Amino acid sequence: MKVEELKHPLIEHKLAILRDKKTGTKEFRELISEIASVLCYEAMKDVKLKKVKITTPIEEMEIGKLEEDNYAFIPILRAGMGMLDGVLGVVPNAKIGHIGMYRDEETYQPVNYFFKVPKGIEKREVFLLDPMLATGGSAIDAIDLLKEKGVKKIKFLCIISAPEGIEAVTKKHPDVKIYTAHIDRELNNNKYICPGLGDAGDRIFGTK
């Protein structure tokens, strides 16, 4: 499967608070960050560790350690920034890039306005961050940009996803695995996820 959905009672509990329109900006931000960290743990289940020798207070031992420099987190601006602290809590020394996109409200298509990634990005495994996977347009464009830079390993992390967006991304980029906290029912006529949680960027930054 190219999609992994978190199925856990505590995640469902946090999503219930996140979705509620009465939830304030501070709590919304905190929950986005918490769920992002869990998604990161799931997405890194298959990483390879480097064997090193350490000395505990009792004895010397060999153990696996993560080579953090091999990874990069790239949020899709602006909403993806809400997930960044959560994933950096898991891999604090990962490199960070940014991809800026906004949705044209008439065509519903993503418009690119900023792209900056760390040097040597093609050698790293990239985790693309965006709370919402709706039509899949932004995710597809972001993945296209990364592949043009030579990136070979990409994983997409999102809080809420729509079946239409999952289908679009997996059709265009079958090599990219999607990690999501929940797959919602559908998109409405305005291309918003239903039941969804509203505009994640506005709720993270308190702009509405």
Q: Quick check: is 103 catalytic?
A: yes
What is the domain extent for residue 105? Answer: 3-205
Of 23, 78, 85, 202, which is the active-site residue? Answer: 202
pTM over 0.85: yes
Of 103, 130, 184, 207, which is the active-site residue? Answer: 103
Is the pLDDT reported for residue 124 higher than 80?
yes
Is the pLDDT reported for residue 101 higher than 90?
no
Per-residue pLDDT tens digits for 148-159: 999 999 999 999
Measured CA distances, 58 to 50, 51, 120 (Å): 22, 19, 40
Q: Quick check: is 202 catalytic?
A: yes
Question: What's the domain count of the chain?
Answer: 1
Of 46, 55, 56, 107, which is the active-site residue? Answer: 107
Residue 11, domain CATH: 3.40.50.2020
Percentage of the chain surpassing pLDDT 70? 99
Q: Quick check: is 199 catalytic?
A: yes
